[in-house]
A and B are shown apart, each in its own frame.
Chain A
Amino acid sequence: KNEVEQSPQNLTAQEGEFITINCSYSVGISALHWLQQHPGGGIVSLFMLSSGKKKHGRLIATINIQEKHSSLHITASHPRDSAVYICAVRFNNNDMRFGAGTRLTVKP
């Protein structure tokens, strides 16, 4: 069964803190995506991963295929990073499933 789980559901941090959001999935995948949903509702794609690690500015995404786990890290967090972060997985049978999201609030 194709399942995606994210943790934590909600996360509050102080500005400058290092943030980690986790995503676990059930079976083999072809790709994993991290998305950001702004408070206004718009959704943008941050990363697509099939192995290893990717970095864009203060955002780092990693994936461990053997452990079926991915993490999204935010270094030196800022209030503008406040958003819902969503993990999306394309399974090997081409089914795409989304995690329920992690609501991040960064306080000044």
Chain B
Amino acid sequence: DAGITQSPRHKVTETGTPVTLRCHQTENHRYMYWYRQDPGHGLRLIHYSYGVKDTDKGEVSDGYSVSRSKTEDFLLTLESATSSQTSVYFCAISVTPDTQYFGPGTRLTVL
């Protein structure tokens, strides 16, 4: 298994609070991704990174920001969480943009 961890694995928070999710890899892969998974929608790309300090927006980036100051860490921040951001969040890594290895997921509930 690729060395990917996500923290926290579960979080319950209130509307309007800031939330940061962390993705950590030990594989030294160049590409890192944040997805959200919602019933009926499949996985949707939020943001991705193609190197340290190099990030770009995905399909559903509104309300989210990311940072990658080190190869091994990719942070996803919800500046002011809303109920529509209740979801399961997956981080993924890859050497090339193709085969991705997924983290275990973080279940976020915004009340």
Contacts and interface: CB of A to CB of B under 8 A. Distances in A.
Where chain A touches its partner, the secondary structure class is: strand
B19 interface: no
B74 interface: no
B8 interface: no
Contacts of A99: 42
A20 interface: no
A88 B97 contact: no
B99 interface: yes
Report the interface size class on chain B.
10 to 19
Contact of A41 (B43, B45, B105): B105
A86 interface: yes
B88 interface: yes
A36 B99 CA distance: 13
A100 B88 contact: no
A90 B98 CA distance: 8
B27 to A, nearest CB: 14
12 contacts: A33-B99, A42-B102, A42-B105, A43-B102, A43-B105, A44-B102, A48-B99, A86-B42, A90-B97, A97-B59, A99-B42, A100-B40
Interface of B: 40-45, 59, 88, 90, 97-102, 104-105
Closest 4 CB pairs of A and B: A43-B102, A98-B42, A98-B43, A100-B42
Given A42-B104, A42-B105, A96-B97, 14 more contacts: A4-B42, A33-B98, A41-B88, A41-B105, A42-B102, A43-B102, A43-B105, A44-B102, A45-B101, A86-B42, A88-B43, A90-B97, A90-B98, A100-B42
